[in-house]
Amino acid sequence: MYNQLQRLNGVATFALTVAFCLFVAISYVSDYTRPVDQGTAQVTVRGIKVQRGPTFPDAYDPKSRQSHYARLAMDIEVDLTRLFDWNTKQVFLMAVAEYATPTHPVNQVVLWDSIIQSPEDAEFKLKKYRNKYQFKDFTEKFGTKTANLTVYWDVTPYVGFLQTTRLGQTSQTFTIPEVSYK
Amino acid sequence: MEALKTLKNMSIRQMLLQSLNFLLVLSSAFMFWKGLGLYHNTESPIVVVLSGSMEPAFYKGDILFLSNPKQVPIEIGDITVFKVEGRDIPIVHRVIRVHREAETNKQYLLTKGDNNEIHDRGLYNPGQMWVDKDDVVGRVKGYVPYVGMVTILLNEYPQVKFAVLGLMGIMIILSKE
């Protein structure tokens, strides 16, 4: 007959197999049922100024002193309550400036982000909010006059697939002005 | 002592068969790992989170599944696993800036941990401003919590590793078909 060790082995193997199958099932089901496209998030640029040199010294960027930095004021209006179902751990939300320059056809810079962990926190409005991260070109000066501002979000589940397609609201075009003060 | 008795009762042929079995288990695990890596174009298709810098998305001991399709460029907001030259342990952080150069078609990335206050330039090598796409091991596609705690335990306490490995070996060799 079976000894204790074999029994233990059998039970453990079965438990692991069941857990594994459950994980796989949950991953596919929740990936399929989550209403990922049912949120709204709108960011509007209320004001923008470009200055030479960073507001706070940047030790990692040797060219920061002569570089141009844009400072924005944004209105942010978010309602992502419906993204929270039984397998939503958090929603990562970000406002991204996207633009093309002759030397760099793709430039994406996150200006602001937010981690939403519960449906109660998923609806909010922010007025004239400053950009959280530096807005600066790859080169020293902005190689473009216009840029798009888009809001993207992705869902992190408790277990399963991370959202593979990034969803966003229609973007807003804004103008990057010349240096206004030093 | 029952175990020793079974070992004594085994013929050489039986013992060889059992060791072959043991090797088969090891090599199929290895092939599974390599096959997954080949399919997803990454050197390590499964990684364990070792720090809390991506909390609350990932905690220490969680397992991540990676993929790194060659043709698909890295997008803003992707959670990447990348290497810093000269350091063994790769970093799992989110991409907050992407610049693609027209001339070389190269992607320049800046990363940041969700739980960190600022970007990762302090973690890169001195003077390094950007992460190259070639340094990226993979992008996180799937997530399972806690399971990686086992590997962390095994790595932090090598005695446990040897004990578990030894026990597993003995069990496989002594188990009858």
Q: What is the domain range of residue B14? A: 2-40+158-174
pLDDT tens per residue, range B16-38: 888 898 899 999 999 999 999 99
CB spacing of A104 vs B144 below 8 angstroms: no
- Written as six digits, the tokens of A93 are 């939300």
Do both B105 and B56 map to the same domain?
A: yes
pLDDT band at A168 (very low <50, low <70, confident <90, very high): low
B74 and B95 together in one domain: yes
Q: Write the residue in B56, B98, B121 that is nearest to A106 by C-beta.
A: B98
- In this structure, the answer to whether residues A129 and A84 fall within a common structural domain is yes
Number of domains, chain B = 2
Same domain, B25 and B89: no
CB contact under 8 A, A89 and B56: yes
Judgement on whether residues A7 and A64 belong to the same structural domain of the protein:
no
CATH number of the domain that residue B92 is part of: 2.10.109.10
Q: Do A107 and B144 touch (CB under 8 A)?
A: no
Q: Which residues of A touch B125 (CB under 8 A)?
A: none
Residue B152 falls inside a structural domain: no
Over chain A, what HEC string results? CCCHHHHHHHHHHHHHHHHHHHHHHHHHHHHHHCCCCCCEEEEEEEEEEEEECCCCCCCCCCCHHHCEEEEEEEEEEEECHHHCCCCCCEEEEEEEEEECCCCCCEEEEEEEEEEECCHHHCEEEEEEEECCCCEECCCCCCCCCEEEEEEEEEEECCCEECCCCCEECCCEEEECCCEEEC
Enclosing domain of residue A23:
1-33
pLDDT in the model for residue A166: 67
Q: Are residues B19 and B51 in the same domain?
A: no
Which pair of tokens denotes residue B112? Answer: 């940041």
Q: Which residues of B are catalytic?
A: 53, 93, 120
Distance CA B125, CA B84 (A): 7
| CB within 8 Å of A73: residues ≥ 6 apart | A45, A46, A47, A48, A128, A129, A130
Do B56 and B36 share a structural domain?
no
Low-confidence stretches of chain B (pLDDT beneath 50): none
Query: What residues of chain A lie within 8 A of the CB of B176, using their CB?
Result: none
| Pick among B96, B110, B114, B174 to test the A interface (most A CBs inside 10 A) | B96
Residue B142 has its nearest CB partner, among A27, A107, A109, at A27
Contact B171 A166 (CB under 8 A): no
Average pLDDT over residues A94-119: 93
> Hey, is the C-beta of B126 within 8 angstroms of any chain A C-beta?
no
- pTM equals 0.86
For residue range A52-101, list pLDDT tens digits in order: 988 888 888 888 888 999 999 999 999 999 889 899 999 999 999 999 99
Residues B61 and B120 in one domain: yes
Q: For the segment A130-157, what is each residue's pLDDT rounded down to a tens digit?
A: 999 999 999 999 988 899 998 888 899 9
The answer to whether residues B57 and B120 belong to one domain is yes
Total domain count, chain A? 2
CA atoms B124, B128, B133, B135: torsion sign: negative
